[in-house]
């Protein structure tokens, strides 16, 4: 499985966790029981999930700041899952170029969300180019009001 497929699986897992609201470890355990991955793909998926949850306040604040006129509650859960994954990659993964993360997020939105989701997600993520280098200063938080 390549990085694109692993990213798609990570997004599906984030979406599943958004819907089911179970504990992270239980969801991860079940997910990895039901799917077979290489060591690299498993490590990437786990990094995304733990990274999104561990930095949820920063990620949620970033979405709210850059979504201009949209409250988090109005954004579909699939779009939120895609945004959270991509924002984590952009801000906390130095091995993934900004343009790759944005393009992959847009492709996921086109595949799994509404007709307008790709341009909506592209609009939010394109505003993040200025924070790419400064995100590491606020790397992690342990909890937030939305449970991430």
Q: Is the pLDDT of residue 34 over 50?
A: yes
Which residue reads 């355990």 in tokens? 29
1 contact partners, CB below 8 Å, separation of at least 6: 9, 37, 38, 41
Domain boundaries, position 61 = 3-136
Number of domains in the chain: 1
126 part of a folded domain: yes
Higher pLDDT, 144 or 127: 127
Closest by alpha carbon to 82, among 48, 115, 50? 48
76 part of a folded domain: yes
Least confident window among 40-49, 61-70, 129-138 = 129-138
Q: Tell me the pLDDT of the chain averaged across its residues.
A: 87
Higher pLDDT, 68 or 74: 74
**CATH number assigned to the domain comprising residue 36:** 1.10.940.10
Higher pLDDT, 138 or 119: 119
| Alpha-carbon gap, residue 125 to 99, rounded angstroms | 10
| Alpha-carbon gap, residue 22 to 132, rounded angstroms | 31
147 part of a folded domain: no
128 part of a folded domain: yes
142 part of a folded domain: no
62 part of a folded domain: yes
145 part of a folded domain: no
Specify the DSSP element, H or E, that contains 25: helix 24-34
């Amino acid at each position: 499985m390549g990085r694109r497929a692993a990213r798609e699986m990570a997004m599906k897992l984030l979406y599943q966790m958004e819907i089911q609201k179970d504990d992270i470890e239980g969801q991860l355990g079940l997910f990895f029981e039901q799917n077979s991955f290489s060591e690299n793909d498993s490590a990437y998926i786990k990094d995304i999930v733990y990274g999104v949850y561990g930095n949820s306040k920063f990620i949620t604040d970033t979405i709210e700041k850059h979504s201009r006129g949209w409250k988090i509650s109005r954004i579909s859960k699939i779009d939120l899952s895609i945004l959270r994954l991509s924002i984590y990659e952009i801000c906390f993964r130095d091995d993934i170029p900004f343009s790759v993360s944005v393009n992959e997020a847009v492709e996921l939105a086109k595949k799994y969300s509404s007709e307008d989701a790709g341009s909506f997600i592209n609009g939010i993520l394109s505003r993040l180019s200025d924070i790419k280098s400064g995100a590491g200063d606020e790397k992690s938080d342990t909890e937030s009001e939305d449970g991430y």
